[in-house]
Structure formats: structure tokens, C-alpha cells
Amino acid sequence: MLYPIFTILPAAVCVFWIFLLLVDKQKNRSKKFFILLLIFILVNFIAHAAFFNHKYELYTVLDSIWVFTSLLIFPLYYYYIRILTTDPAIQYKWSWLALPSFLLAIYSAVIYLLMTPAEMESFIQGIMYQKSGYEPYPRLVRLQILREHLFKVLFSVQVILSVYFGFRLIDKYNKKVKTFYSNLGGKDLTPMKWAVAALLLASMVSVLANSIGKSYFITHPQLLFIPFTIYSVCIFFSAYVSYMQRFTIEHFTKNVNEYELSRVFTVKKPVAHYYIPGMDNLKSLRDRLIYLLEKIEIFKNPELKISDVSLLLKTNRTYVSKVVNEELNTNFCDLVNSYRVNYAEELLCSPEQANSLSIAEIAEMSGFSSESSFYRVFKNKKGISPGIYKQHRCNVLAVNG
């Protein structure tokens, strides 16, 4: 009874997320592309279900489609990461990523068309279901066996390259975001690494299952729930991360372009609006930046961007970024957050403020966009949570002071 349910469980997960993404009112280019990816995964697991439910005639039709979709999933996921991190618009020059899957699927389909019913039965029953009595295999069956070996090699290479270059794109994007924004809430793609890892786990389970042999799970149906549950969980998690990701390179590029446009207009306007007393005698860009952070406390703006700072300093954001990276040996996000954490530390250890302010209020006063981001950044900087810091470190300071 449960056996057919498990065979369609991954497909059901795909249908669930395709529906949610289709009705999502905040669909962007990346989510639309992810819907396409889920459709291919859905077709792939429909072919899986046909095999495990002994739909022989259907499976002979779907087998070549299964080859195509299996070899397309990771290249598509890699390009999905490119849409998130690098390409604000679809670049059709990357269509070549589908070429290996297309060629091997055509190879498989042509051989199926050339096979006699007896040869087809020999391949399906003797090779795919590993039943005895069909040897020796005719030439067309041996060609399909060659396809099986080619598939395993291509699939392994695709997984390794997609994960490696996908992680590199995510790291490069995260560094880029950290140089522009002080608040990374919902902007960085670290959760996407876990989604990639989930799909990597699913691929490893798939390779292991294929090495054991699909027919083994047919003769031991009670074990089928293990790989199919893992597939379902991995697909669900990856889709959830994609569903929750609201910010991409598309939005980043828009923000940068808006900043460049604002510079064009502000140079034609009086700069009195940007005049800040106390900075007249500061010649170096580094000293003026530190002045803005320490005296003007611009870090209290939770949506502070490097473009805002460059406008206040009447310079290009590239120069500000260079000062932050080369002279202060950090990035813009970490620089601003270090001032926020230091200010929050003062509030936590202040007898007048700490007892009257909640953690959420301290987070807001320090420039954090949310309590969760405050906890995350504070713990990363100090090694402990704000609450524990307040209880222990500040008490020690009070006693020693």
C-alpha cells in the first residue's frame, strides 16, 4: 500500500512547490526559472514512478526523457545560481549546458526506435530489472548499456562542476553584497549553499541507489522509502530556500544603478544638504569616514548603504570601498556592524539603559534591522548571545568597575 505512495512522493513535493511559486505574487526572474527546474524534476520522478510500478511500456517511452532530465537538473540549478548571483537577465548563450543531456537522450531514443520488441524486452528486463535468462545481449542492447555508463560519468562530472562553481558564485556574490549593504537580512545567499548541499546529498543517494541496482529496491520494496524520502526532503528544502529568497543580483543591480543615477543629479544641486559640521579639517577619506561612524553615528541607520556614505563624503563609492578594504582591512558590512555591536555593548552594560530596554529595543537603537540579525551578528562578533553577554560580561564589568 505504501510502496506506490513513496514512488510518487518526490513528484508530489514538486507539484506542491510549483503551485506555491506560481501563485506567489512576488515572483521574480529567478523564481520563474526555478519553476522550470521543478518541472524537469517532476518529469524525472514520474519516470522513476513508472519504473518502480512496473509500467514497462510507459517506461520505454520515459527512459530517454529520464536521461534528459537527470542530466539537465544540475546544469539548470547551476544556471539558477547564476541568475541569483551574476546574470540580471537570462543569457541564452548558456544554453550549451543542456547539450550533453540532449545528445545522450537522442542517442537513447534512437536506439529504442531501432530495437525490436525482443531486444527492448531484453534490455528492460535483463539490464534494468536485472532478470536472468536474456544473455547474450544483442548489439543494440549493448549500445544501451554503453549509454548507462556514459550517463554515470556525465552525471558525476556535472554534479562536481555544478556544486564547485555554484559555491564560487555564491561566495563572490556574498562578498559583493557585503561591500554595498550594512544590513544583509535576506540579501546574502548563504542559505542557498545549504540548498545546494541538499541536492548534492540527493545526487549521492541516487548514485548509491544506482550502484546497488534499482531492481534491488523492487525485490526489497520496504527499503524504497529510504531514498525516496531523502529525495523528497532535499527537494522540499531546496524549494523552500528558493521560495524565501527575495533578493537577487537583479535587485542589487537596480540599487547600484539608482545610486549612479542619483549621483548624476546631486552634482548639479547645491551640496549644502550634505554638509556635515566638523569634517572641514579632515583631509583623508579614511578620517572622514571614521568621523561619520563615530561622531555622526550613521551606523544607526539600519538600511545604510555604501552609496549613502559616498554621497555624504561627496566621492565615488569605489573610493570608499577601497578605503574600507585596504586601509581598514574589512568590508563595508562588517565595518558598520562592528560599530553597531560596540554601541549595543555599551547599552547592554549601561546600568541606566540595560534595565529599562529590551533586547529588541537595543537592537533597533544600535541600527540592526531585526532582533534576529542582532543576535546573529552579535554572537559572531562576541562569541556569545546578547542576553548571556548582559548577564555575565556586564556583571563582571560592574563588579570590577
Q: Which 3-state string (H, E, C) describes the chain?
A: CHHHHHHHHHHHHHHHHHHHHHHCCCCCHHHHHHHHHHHHHHHHHHHHHHHHCCCHHHHHHHHHHHHHHHHHHHHHHHHHHHHHHCCCCCCHHHHHHHHHHHHHHHHHHHHHHHCCHHHHHHHHHHHHCCCCCCCCCCHHHHHHHHHHHHHHHHHHHHHHHHHHHHHHHHHHHHHHHHCCECCCCCCCCHHHHHHHHHHHHHHHHHHHHHHHCHHHHHHCHHHCHHHHHHHHHHHHHHHHHHHHCCCCHHHHHHHHHHHHHHHHHHCCCCHHHHCCCCCCCCCCHHHHHHHHHHCCCHHHCCCCEHHHHHHHCCCCHHHHHHHHHHHCCCCHHHHHHHHHHHHHHHHHCCHHHHCCCCHHHHHHHHCCCCHHHHHHHHHHHHCCCHHHHHHHHHHHHHHHC
If you average pLDDT over every residue of the chain, what do you get?
87
Same domain, 306 and 196: no
Same domain, 320 and 353: no
The arithmetic mean of pLDDT across residues 159-178, rounded, is 95
Q: What is the pLDDT of residue 392?
A: 73
User: Could you tell me if residue 240 is inside a domain?
Assistant: yes
Into how many domains does the chain fold? 3
Q: State the pLDDT confidence band at 267, using cuts at 50, 70 and 90.
A: very low
Same domain, 148 and 237: yes
Same domain, 53 and 190: yes
The arithmetic mean of pLDDT across residues 74-89, rounded, is 94
Same domain, 59 and 112: yes
User: Could you tell me if residue 265 is inside a domain?
Assistant: no
pLDDT, tens digit (0-9, with 9 covering 90-100), for 336-382: 999 999 999 888 887 776 577 888 999 999 999 889 899 999 999 98
Q: State the pLDDT confidence band at 261, using cuts at 50, 70 and 90.
A: low
Q: What is the pLDDT of residue 213?
A: 75
Q: What is the pLDDT of residue 270?
A: 40
Same domain, 242 and 316: no
The arithmetic mean of pLDDT across residues 109-117, rounded, is 94
Q: Between 334 and 26, where is the model more confident?
A: 334
Q: What is the pLDDT of residue 176?
A: 92
Same domain, 202 and 325: no
User: Could you tell me if residue 262 is inside a domain?
Assistant: no
Q: What is the pLDDT of residue 387?
A: 83
Tell which of 284, 314, 329 closes a domain. 329
pLDDT, tens digit (0-9, with 9 covering 90-100), for 268-322: 444 444 556 666 667 789 999 999 999 999 999 999 999 889 888 888 888 999 9
Same domain, 212 and 354: no
The CATH number covering residue 386 comes to 1.10.10.60
Q: What is the pLDDT of residue 305?
A: 93
Same domain, 104 and 30: yes
Q: What is the pLDDT of residue 400?
A: 53
User: Could you tell me if residue 317 is inside a domain?
Assistant: yes
Same domain, 385 and 248: no
pLDDT, tens digit (0-9, with 9 covering 90-100), for 9-47: 999 999 999 999 999 988 788 999 999 999 999 999 999
Same domain, 136 and 148: yes
Tell which of 329, 361, 378 closes a domain. 329
User: Could you tell me if residue 260 is inside a domain?
Assistant: no
User: Could you tell me if residue 154 is inside a domain?
Assistant: yes
User: Could you tell me if residue 138 is inside a domain?
Assistant: yes
The CATH number covering residue 35 comes to 1.20.1070
Same domain, 319 and 343: no
Question: What is the residue range of 194's domain?
Answer: 2-252
Q: What is the pLDDT of residue 391?
A: 78
Q: What is the pLDDT of residue 314?
A: 85
pTM metric for this prediction:
0.87
Tell which of 287, 303, 329 closes a domain. 329
pLDDT, tens digit (0-9, with 9 covering 90-100), for 169-194: 999 999 999 999 999 888 889 999 99
User: Could you tell me if residue 388 is inside a domain?
Assistant: yes
